[in-house]
């Protein structure tokens, strides 16, 4: 990517990571955009979070749970998607604050927004105006249903899109039991696709010298992960339906009962099937089990056969036996078990930050690690900042802009 400007390098010299020296102006709220901004902040970008004066991002009020003192409660929802950012409060309808925003646009590499189509235009910041102010600006725009088309005007909320985009029809114990995924997956995927698109646009800017607009939506993000379920519909003409905790195209693959509990197994090849059946004394060569396709067609019989074999074992003993046989297996952990798991901790997936109100807190950490083979050293960012209080950095950001003006920029 092109070299950041000198003043940005100086401002962010202490921010390690591949995006160190780049500035992201984050006008988004709730989750999709803030998640994209957090991804870029984790990579070292300076992310300036613009919030509404008085109450800030909507997620500051989403709870319970709230933590901290009664006079200044902090929403754990907000804490989940805003680490490593700075906060400035701006009223985008106020002339003075619009002037601050205009200056920030001129000094940023990326602008992120998730307003409904047309809102930024009405505020005086159309795409054309943004690129007049900064031709190199990469703009990430996230909507609910897309930027055009007959339903582009609709507001997008995660669970609504999980239903509209078909994900709930694939999730649940059966066709009559549609369930949402346990996290706001449409928002999270939109943020991930958005960050991915921004990085591609920054690379393209090296060749063209110009920024461009990256567009995605909650609808697009979910259709984009239909994977093999999508091609079942578009190519095979089947309509996939929810079928609980067993894979629609592989057997045995899913959650199985055992003595006093349950375990998950994944028998994804004929070699694994042979090892599995040998370990548990199952007749793997009977006609109903001859191939994966046969086992899928006879899934109920496969499930009964596997659970009969598992009935003699408790979960811990069974997992040891499966591991010894080389069969991929695991248990279903609660989140407290996940965060206490040494494997999770070994991957840097928990981080400690010093919060202005809460003090030292632990957050789920970034999922990426970096390694430099030239030095045989890990270069992953290890120092992180807590999600900011509302307008915590407003004065310092304004001082930075003032210093630039006085410097003749």
Using CA atoms, how far residue 243 sits from 119, 163, 261, 288, 289, in Å, is 41, 16, 20, 20, 20
* Cα-based distances in Å from 207 to 42, 155, 200, 201, 210: 26, 36, 11, 10, 8
The owner of tokens 């009964």 is: 304
Q: Which of 26, 57, 187, 391 is catalytic?
A: 187
The burial class, CB within 10 Å (0-12 / 13-18 / 19+), for 328 is middle
Mapped onto helix, strand or coil, the DSSP state of residue 61 is helix
CA proximity to 20, closest of 374, 293, 381:
381
Nearest to 370 by CA among 361, 360, 380: 380
Looking at residue 170, the DSSP 8-state letter turns out to be: G
Q: Is 399 a catalytic residue?
A: no
Q: Which two tokens stand for residue 231?
A: 């091609």
CB-based burial, 169-202: b 16+ in 10 Å, e otherwise: bbbbeeeeebebbeebbbbbbbbbbbbebbbebb
The H-assigned helical ranges of 243-326 are 270-280, 292-297, 299-310, 315-325
Please give the Cα distance from 172 to 225 (Å, whole number): 17
Distance of alpha carbon 374 from alpha carbon 392, whole angstroms = 39
Paired with 19 in beta bridges are none
Measured from the Cβ of residue 127, the count of other Cβ atoms closer than 10 Å reads 16
Supply the residues annotated as catalytic.
Answer: 187
């Amino acid at each position: 990517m092109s070299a950041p400007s000198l003043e940005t390098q100086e401002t962010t010299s202490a921010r390690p990571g591949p995006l160190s020296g780049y500035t992201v102006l984050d006008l988004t709220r709730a989750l999709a955009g803030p998640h994209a901004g957090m991804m870029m902040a984790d990579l070292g970008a300076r992310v300036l979070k613009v919030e509404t004066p008085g109450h800030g991002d909507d997620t500051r009020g989403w709870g319970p749970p709230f933590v901290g003192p009664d006079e200044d409660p902090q929403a754990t929802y907000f804490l989940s998607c805003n680490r490593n950012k700075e906060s400035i409060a701006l009223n985008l309808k106020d002339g003075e604050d619009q002037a601050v925003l205009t200056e920030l646009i001129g000094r940023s590499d990326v602008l992120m927004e998730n307003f409904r189509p047309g809102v930024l235009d009405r505020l005086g910041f159309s795409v054309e105006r943004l690129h007049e102010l900064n031709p190199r600006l990469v703009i990430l725009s996230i909507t609910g249903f897309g930027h055009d088309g007959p339903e582009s005007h609709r507001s997008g909320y995660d669970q609504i899109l999980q239903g509209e985009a078909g994900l709930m029809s694939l999730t649940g114990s059966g066709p009559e039991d549609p369930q949402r995924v346990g996290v706001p997956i449409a928002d999270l995927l939109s943020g991930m696709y958005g960050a991915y698109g921004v990085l591609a646009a920054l690379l393209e800017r090296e060749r063209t010298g110009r920024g461009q607009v990256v567009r995605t939506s909650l609808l697009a993000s979910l259709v984009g992960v239909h994977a093999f379920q999508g091609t079942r519909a578009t190519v095979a003409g089947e309509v996939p339906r929810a079928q609980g905790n067993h894979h629609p195209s592989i057997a045995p693959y899913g959650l199985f009962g055992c003595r006093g509990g349950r375990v998950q197994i994944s028998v994804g090849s004929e070699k694994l099937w042979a090892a599995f059946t040998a370990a548990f004394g199952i007749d793997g060569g009977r006609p109903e089990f001859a191939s994966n396709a046969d086992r899928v067609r006879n899934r109920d019989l496969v499930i009964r056969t596997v659970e009969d074999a598992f009935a003699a074992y408790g979960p811990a003993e069974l997992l040891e036996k499966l591991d010894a046989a080389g069969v991929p297996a695991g248990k279903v952990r609660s989140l407290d078990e996940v965060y206490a798991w040494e494997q999770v901790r070994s991957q840097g997936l928990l981080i400690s930050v010093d919060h202005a109100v809460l003090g030292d807190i632990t957050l789920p950490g970034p999922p990426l690690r970096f390694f430099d083979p030239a030095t045989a050293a890990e270069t992953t960012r290890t120092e992180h900042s807590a999600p900011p209080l509302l307008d915590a950095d407003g004065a310092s950001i304004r001082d930075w802009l003032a210093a630039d003006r006085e410097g003749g920029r």
